Structure 1
Amino acid sequence: MDSLTQIVLGAAVGEAVLGRKAGNRAMLWGGICGTLPDLDVLANAVSDPMSALAYHRAFTHSLPFAILAAPLVGLALHRFYGGREGPVKGWLVWPVLLTAFYLLLTGGSYLMPIEVYGIPKITLAITLAFAAFFVVIGGLRWLRGFPDKVKNTGWKGWTLLAFGAIVTHPLLDCFTAYGTQFFQPVADSRLAWNTISVADPIYTLPFLILLVWARTQVQGTSWRAKLNKAGLVLSSVYLALTVVNHFNVDSVMEATLTQEGIVAEKHVVSPSILNNILWSGTAKDAKIDLFYFSQYSLFDEERRFQPFTEIPGNHDWLAPYADDRDVRIIRWFTKEYYGVMPGRNEGGLQVNDLRYGLLDTDNPEARSSYIFSWEVDTTVHPVQVRQENAGPSEDVDMGGMFSRLWERLKGVSSK
């Protein structure tokens, strides 16, 4: 999900695990550890766009990474606040920990199912970015003057905090349509349960308010712990409700396909941005290379997706290049839910991710109707791909888009 949500979740987990022993530092480092997996976006700065696409939500978002990185981060935090536990003594602990963290990231990244270029540079950027948090916070501590007595806890306590904050990040991401490689490198499948939008204010805002309220309370008090727990419980209950909604909407999609006489090879449903009421559905025809897109609001009077928009797959246009690395990344990322149309330039093709539906349901032929799309240059071999859209393009009327979203969210009558 969005970075703010992940910071809030990590901070709340940190407070729950270590708040009574470490005070505000538990909330601070919980938030930092909660955003650590998303440092993989630095791949955009040091590698090519397709490698960055494949690397996002990969090893840093996996359970093995959380398990192996947590002791390293835990030891770093323990030593940062004056602890003496651990196998390496003195200042040597810092280069040793940085090297171990870098080697862990690099080794796990090379086991990815898709070839990523520039892995050493990517993992070095992530390592240095995470180290920068220690440098900045250490500098702030120095400016304020080091207190005589610093609340600290053992290596084990900080390790539990780091593990809890890191692992809950990809777990939450599994509930989105984007998904994450939670078991990489043990398994290369991406988990995407499609129950919640990548940004949902109903999940985030109450959670944030309760966390800030808890932060204003005296450290270690029962009232502070109760407020923090309330945020965790409330957000978890809402997340559970999104799962219920998903199963409900999925059954509506299956019933609608049957009513329309569509034999689907597979289908996917997911909530639209910023809400859990209006859902999008995409189905792949089992007989011909065609996709069907539609929407359903929980406020619709009739339990059915309507209307259906047909989107040609044109997969045969991309078939000659199916084994090229960049195309394999697209097919893997979209889970074969993609459509192909003529590109902007001669010899080019535009490939659109169809899992997220259409920004303009009345115009599936418009290039700007798709949230994720890529331009494939077929004049070179292997083909080269560049990201065309990663979110609404500049050609999209955002005001009009959200107006249409709001009107459709309110539901349609059965008349």
Structure 2
Amino acid sequence: MDSVTQALFGAAVAAAGFRRGLGRRVVLAGAALGTVPDLDVVVGWVSDGFATWRHHRGLTHSIFFGPVVGPLIGLGLAKWEARRRGAAPPDPDRLRAWIWLSVLVLVTHPLIDLFTSYGTQLLAPFSDHRFAINAMPIIDPVYSLPLLAAALVAGLSRRAGRGVVASALALFFVAAYTLHAWSLDARTREAARAQLAAQGIAATDVTAYPLLFQPWYRRVVAETPESIRIGFHSMLAPRPIAWTEVPRQRDPRIDAVAATREGRLLEWFAMGHVAWRVRDAEGAAVVEGADTRYGARGESLLGFWGISVPVDAAGRPGEARIFARRPAADARSFSALWRGITTGREQAEQP
């Protein structure tokens, strides 16, 4: 989830479990702790996009990060609080509370990220396997607003019980909402397979990715050995999917690029969901690999991002660069998204 939602989730966890014992400041502490794992994006500021692919949602998003780092942060918070209170060493009960708070917030951060499509290295540093459940979009106001309301109640109310109840209810809601979104993933894939089977198409893999702001309207990618089919489907207004078929290209130049460090990194980052093709650009051959998990209509149908690699006459790859083809965040795009959610109407696009 986005960092703002992670901060709100951390605040809700803190308020639900520790508001009575640690006071109102615990809400701010939980919000700050909720953003700590996402500090791994700093690697992209000092390096390139390939480093971001490799390290974001890596070590700081491991299930081992919280149990190892959480006690250290909790100890620091307890000592800081004790100094402010003029008490040293920290009270043992408050020390335990700060440690548990830090551990729980740092552990729940990667667990809610798990329910998005991006991929989270839950077992780092022992494995770089990327885990993902295609339940939720990265940003969803229906998910975030109850957490915001709970954080405000817990932080502003002088009665601890109100904050505890509000936060517990918000956490219960987002858990139920996430499970509902997870069920939408299974139902969308089932509907897509049934439609393909009615056309005599046996897909080897069908994946449904939630689009922005909600879980009901999804990008569906169906793969066969010969092609990739992409369409969009709304569970609020189900109708036959208008598929765009993209034939798979077989070319030694693609094999050469896929075997490079950047090609292997893309395949790992996209969890194997890559569409490769050769394009002519100003008289030269360029091999492109697109991450098919994220995409929209038009130019970005195959994917919002990927790699572009020039290839010489002998088929040797040149320098790889990351391309980005996100559509403009304008009124037309949001209108099309709303129309897709509410009516399910989608026109097939040419890649």
Q: What range describes the TM-score normalised by the shorter chain of this pair?
A: 0.7 to 0.9
> What's 1:207 paired with?
147
Structure 2 contact 134–185 (Cα < 8 Å) conserved: yes
Counterpart amino acid of residue 333 in structure 2 = M
Instruction: Indicate the residue corresponding to 1:7 in structure 2.
Output: 7
Unaligned runs of 5+ in 2: 346-351
1:233 aligns with 2:165: no
Instruction: State whether residues 310 and 319 of structure 2, in contact with CA within 8 Å, keep that contact through their aligned partners in structure 1.
Output: yes
CA distance in 1, matches of 2:109, 2:130: 15
Q: Does 1:354 align with 2:286?
A: no
Please state if 1:320 is matched with 2:268: no
Contact 1:33 1:166 in 2 (8 A): yes
TM-score normalised to structure 1 length: 0.75
**Structure 1 stretches of 5 or more lacking a match?**
84-145
- Per the alignment, in what secondary structure is the counterpart of residue 181 of structure 1? coil
Pair 1:281–1:318, CA change in 2 (3 A): same
Amino acid at match of 2:234: S
Deviations 1:207-256 (A, max 9, x none): 2122212221115x222211121111111121121122222212112212
The residue correspondences of 1:9-408 to structure 2 (distance < 5 A) are 9-82=9-82, 153-218=93-158, 221-285=160-224, 287-288=225-226, 290-302=227-239, 304=240, 306-314=241-249, 316=251, 317-341=253-277, 342=279, 344=281, 346-357=284-295, 359-360=296-297, 363=298, 366=299, 370-378=303-311, 383-389=318-324, 392-393=326-327, 396=328, 398-408=330-340
Deviation per CA, 1:238-287: give whole Å up to 9, x if none: 112112222221211221221122222212112111112211110111x3
Q: Is the 8 A contact 1:177 1:192 kept in 2?
A: yes
With over 3 angstroms needed to count, the CA separation of the structure-2 counterparts of 1:148 and 1:376, relative to structure 1, is same
User: Does the 8 Å contact 1:211/1:231 carry over to 2?
Assistant: no
What letter corresponds to residue 387 of structure 1 in structure 2? I
Are 1:409 and 2:341 matched, yes or no? yes
Deviations 1:102-142 (A, max 9, x none): xxxxxxxxxxxxxxxxxxxxxxxxxxxxxxxxxxxxxxxxx
Alignment CA distance shift 1:159-1:241 (3 Å): same
Letter aligned with residue 45 of structure 2? A
Q: Is the 8 A contact 1:343 1:350 kept in 2?
A: no
Contact 1:10 1:31 in 2 (8 A): yes
Q: Distance in 2 between matches of 1:343 and 1:311?
A: 17
Partner secondary structure for residue 64 of structure 2: helix
What is the rounded CA distance, in whole Å, between the counterparts of 2:291 and 2:302 in structure 1? Answer: 10
User: Match of 1:351, SS?
Assistant: strand
Q: State the alpha-carbon separation in 2 of the partners of residues 37 and 65 from structure 1.
A: 9
Superposed CA RMSD in Å reads 2.5
Letter in 1 for 2:255: A
DSSP 3-state at the match of 1:57? coil
Alignment partners' CA distance in 1, 2:154 and 2:317 = 55
d(CA) in 1 for partners of 2:193 and 2:223? 12
Question: Once the two structures are aligned, what percentage of the paired residues are identical?
Answer: 27
**Aligned partners of 1:298 and 1:411 also within 8 Å:** no
Tell me the alpha carbon deviations over residues 351-393 of structure 1, each in whole angstroms, 9 at most, x when there is no partner.
2111224x21xx4xx368632232224459775322211x725
Provide the rounded CA distance (Å) in 2 between the counterparts of 1:336 and 1:179: 12
One-letter amino acid matched to 1:291: I
